[in-house]
Amino acid sequence: MEKVLIFTLGDERYGLEVAHIQEIVESPPLFYIPRAPGHYRGALNFHGTILPVLDLPLYLGFSQAECGERVVVLPPSLGTLALAVTAIERIVPFESDSLLPVPQERLGHGYIRAALEREGDVINMLDIERLLTTLDQA
Amino acid sequence: MDMSKYRGMFLSETAEHLKKMSALLLALENDPADRDGIDALFREAHSIKGMAASMGYDRTAELAHHLEDLMDGFRQSGVVPPEAVDRLLAGTDLLEGLLEDISAERDEREIADFLTSPAPSKKEVEGTSVSVEPLPEKADDEQPEIEAEASEESSSEIVASGRLQLVIELAEDAAAPAARALIMLREIGRMGTVLNSRPGEEQLRKGEAARKIEITLQSDRSADEVRASLLVMADVERVGFAAPVAEPRARRREDGSRTVRVRTELLDQFINLTGELITNRYMLQTSVREESWQETRAGLDRLSRLVTDLHHHVLQVRMMPLESVTGRLPRVVRDLARKCGKEVNFCHEVADIELDRAILEHLSDPLTHMVRNAVDHGIESQGEVSVSAWREKDLVVVEVGDDGRGMDVESIRQKAIEKGLLSPVQARGLREREVLQLVCHPGFSTAAQVTETSGRGVGMDVVKAEVEALGGTLDIITSPGEGTRIQLKLPVSVAIIQILLVECDGKTLGIPITRVQRALEIERSEVRSSGRQMVVPLDHEMVPLISLNKVLKLPTHATGETVPVVVTEFRGRRLGLVVDRFAGQREAFVKTLASPLDRLSGVSGATILGDGSLIFILDPQALLDGGPGRATNRLVGEDA
């Protein structure tokens, strides 16, 4: 049984496997990164490691969406990055077998790996590998 | 037994043996009957063979054995003929390639061609002939040949970064290949993470028929395991593996596995220091409990001394002899001199100089290029190239010199005008030292035509950039007919540097002191404009001013009677960076940045202050040279 963190970007629900999360940090101070593209909100001192904080709603095109105070830190094995999202909701268990293919009309920005249905709501599973690969090549 | 933890040790020791072999061979070329040299060479090959065999690196062992056999023959005859030196050098090159394979956890490359190729015949005589024997191209800057086309056989070439590039072919008569492919994709997903597939899941879902699917899979299973579990699936006809694409993130991880050898005395010192720190902790705990503040103060003083000591010793662990990178230069000079038919004597004096390994690692290519330049452009037909190094206060100076024709300052000045790098007026105003720096301008080359040597690898602009990125400086000293000396002045260690803190729009930034010529407050009334460019007179010279706020695309705040200016050097000329405020100077432990921040041009690292805040460190040169879309001429027109 895996677990998934549910968060929102604008008013859409997204999910990220807990295995892909190192820690959720409560309103950390963010520092100015010179010359950084606009989709970085700043840098975070995470126990001596310097992590850029990606404004996920902005990066994925939710132009009106704001970011909450909490940020999601990815494990170092995945990448040196933290994600700012609109709001963090909760962690729920899920079966990886229950993942559904993404309907064509919902593909949108292309960072959705699969969909998860829960209590009548559709949760988009974030394709974190693809996100990191794109950032790495940007 | 798990041998992998010994791999690092094997690699570093074998690399040392190879370096010695190369040096011994060059010495034998001059003195072919040196008994001790022949014996020493035999022993080196023998050591490599023994270590490689015990580690199970069969090809490396076989090749070392072959070289050892050759040497044994010369031990009998007492003399090493010159063509044998070439053969043995080619052998050491191949061994180096094998070490690279082992280091990258690839299978060892093929050596059969070398083993079966006949020893070169004796038809060429060195020096006199113009048609010099073609030397084997050095293999180290080339990727090992990997079959581009996917095939079953090439699975052994996969780099063990856990990333596999699969090519799966479905049977010709497979019914509903798209559906089959989807099921397969799902199956593969169980073995790891599918990073990419072509055609993608979406396309397959739309029913796009594909008999051939390319997949990038992140998995801890071996290529053979993956293949085996795929081949049992219906309709899967062939599973091949292509060479994985160069993967920057994977490469960085590989860097982390380097090993260092530490002298046991140094380790003992660490243990002693740790002991003292433990004592110190007890003392502090006691004095705090007893509220004895005088004792506490004494304890803190002691702690501060111990930490300084510890820092000093840790830096020592990172120190490596400069010789570890200059050791291969004699070979570079020899090969290149032969290739262009010149007679070059190489003189090498770097004994005892040590530098931080992080600096040394970045010094290898620039030094090679400078030495190649000296042979290629400095020396006409015969002469001497030297590499020397010495300490100068807390810097190390590394100098590459030649006794060739030297550089002509006036013709460089002329050429810079022709190339449009400078206006005639600007060119006249430059001092000799500044003119010489133009050689390091991208796109400037003093060679009349591009030769094979200067045409490849790094140019002087890259050399300069690399040296500056390390916090060093590059100086050129030359006069016509008296040769050229290029001096690199480098910090001994990179980890801790002095930085000047400046503020722009309320944001604090660091600039390495080595980049700052002066930091001064100028009366606003002294700032003048020359065209659209703001300038300020400094030592009888007009120094252009640029707003750092503007460079960083931050709002500007022109207030106050005085203007804080950081004077730095840009392309051989002085330039003033206007900031909002100076915020002090401090020692900083520089952290290098990881992806994606490592790609911000002009940002060389960051440091964490005592209160946990982060400050990014700027490299003004790179900042002004600018990332994409920032041309030099845009500097003109920017004001304070």
Say yes or no for a CB contact (<8 Å) between A31 and B614. Answer: yes
Minimal C-alpha gap between B629 and chain A (Å): 13
B455: pLDDT strictly greater than 50: no
A26: pLDDT strictly greater than 80: yes
Query: Which pLDDT band holds residue A126 (cuts at 50, 70, 90)?
Result: very high
- Chain A residue numbers with beta carbons less than 8 Å from the beta carbon of B608 are 45, 48, 50
Rounded to 5°, angle at Cα B146 from B142 and B152 = 170
What's the number of CA atoms in the CB half-sphere (13 Å) around residue B505? 13
Least confident of B75-89, B299-313, B424-438: B424-438
* Superfamily of domain covering B496-634: CheA-289, Domain 4 (2.40.50.180)
Q: Which of A80, A101, A133 sits opposite B195 (nearest CB)?
A: A133
* The predicted structure's pLDDT at residue B614: 92
Beta sheet of B614-618, edge-to-edge order: B581-589, B496-504, B507-512, B614-618, B603-608
Cα B243 to Cα B156: distance, rounded to the nearest angstrom: 10
B539: left (phi over 0), alpha (psi -120 to 50) or beta: left
Mean pLDDT value of segment B179-187: 76
Question: Which residues are within 8 A (CB) of A39 and not within 5 positions of it... i.e. 6 or more apart?
Answer: A54, A55, A58, A59
Query: Which pLDDT band holds residue B215 (cuts at 50, 70, 90)?
Result: confident
For residue A89, the enclosing domain spans: 2-137
Residue that wins the pLDDT comparison between B156 and B580: B580
Peptide bond before B199: cis, by omega within 30 degrees of 0? yes
Peptide bond before B321: cis, by omega within 30 degrees of 0? no
Mean pLDDT value of segment B375-384: 87
Q: By the 8 A CB rule, do B98 and B59 touch? A: yes
| Helices and strands, counts by H and E, chain B | 21, 22
Say yes or no for a CB contact (<8 Å) between A36 and B600. Answer: yes
* The predicted structure's pLDDT at residue B57: 87
* The predicted structure's pLDDT at residue B248: 40
Pick the CATH number of B321-407+446-491 from 3.40.50.300, 1.10.275.10, 3.30.565.10, 2.60.40.1930: 3.30.565.10
Domain count, chain A: 1
Cα A63 to Cα A41: distance, rounded to the nearest angstrom: 14
Q: By the 8 A CB rule, do B441 and B463 touch? A: no
Mean pLDDT value of segment B503-524: 92
Minimal C-alpha gap between B580 and chain A (Å): 15
CB count in 10 Å sphere of residue A2: 11
Strands B395-402 and B382-392: antiparallel
- Chain B residue numbers with beta carbons less than 8 Å from the beta carbon of A48 are 608
Q: Which of A34, A48, A81 sits opposite B608 (nearest CB)?
A: A48
Range among A61-65, B78-82, B224-228, B498-502 rated most confident: B498-502
Mean pLDDT value of segment B80-101: 87
Cα B560 to Cα B262: distance, rounded to the nearest angstrom: 55
* The predicted structure's pLDDT at residue B253: 36
* The predicted structure's pLDDT at residue A58: 92
Is A3 touching B (CB cutoff 8 A)? no
- Chain A residue numbers with beta carbons less than 8 Å from the beta carbon of B603 are 33-35
* The predicted structure's pLDDT at residue B407: 84
The pLDDT tens digits for B34-56 are 888 888 888 888 888 888 877 78
* The predicted structure's pLDDT at residue B601: 86
Q: Output the domain CATH number for residue A49.
A: 2.40.50.180
* The predicted structure's pLDDT at residue B627: 46
- Chain A residue numbers with beta carbons less than 8 Å from the beta carbon of B612 are 29, 45
* Superfamily of domain covering B4-116: HPT domain (1.20.120.160)
Strands A40-46 and A49-55: antiparallel
Is A38 touching B (CB cutoff 8 A)? no
In order, the DSSP letters of B346-377 are EEEE-TT-EEEHHHHHHHHHHHHHHHHHIIII
Q: By the 8 A CB rule, do B593 and B605 touch? A: yes
The pLDDT tens digits for B132-142 are 334 444 444 44
Closest CA to B126 of B75, B86, B90: B86
The pLDDT tens digits for B595-638 are 888 888 889 889 888 777 899 999 898 888 764 333 333 333 33
For residue B475, what are the β-bridge partners? B487
Cα B538 to Cα B169: distance, rounded to the nearest angstrom: 72
ipTM of the complex: 0.92
B450: pLDDT strictly greater than 60: no
What percent of chain B has pLDDT above 70? 82
* The predicted structure's pLDDT at residue A34: 95
Distances in Å between the Cα of A97 and the Cα atoms of A1, A2, A101, B637 are: 10, 10, 11, 62
Range among B2-16, B241-255, B443-457, B500-514 rated most confident: B500-514
B533: helix, coil or strand?
strand
Name the closest residue on chain B to residue A36, using Cα atoms. B600
Pick the CATH number of B152-247 from 1.10.645.10, 2.40.33.10, 3.30.465.10, 3.30.70.1110: 3.30.70.1110
* The predicted structure's pLDDT at residue B161: 54
* The predicted structure's pLDDT at residue B398: 95
Name the closest residue on chain A to residue B624, using Cα atoms. A35
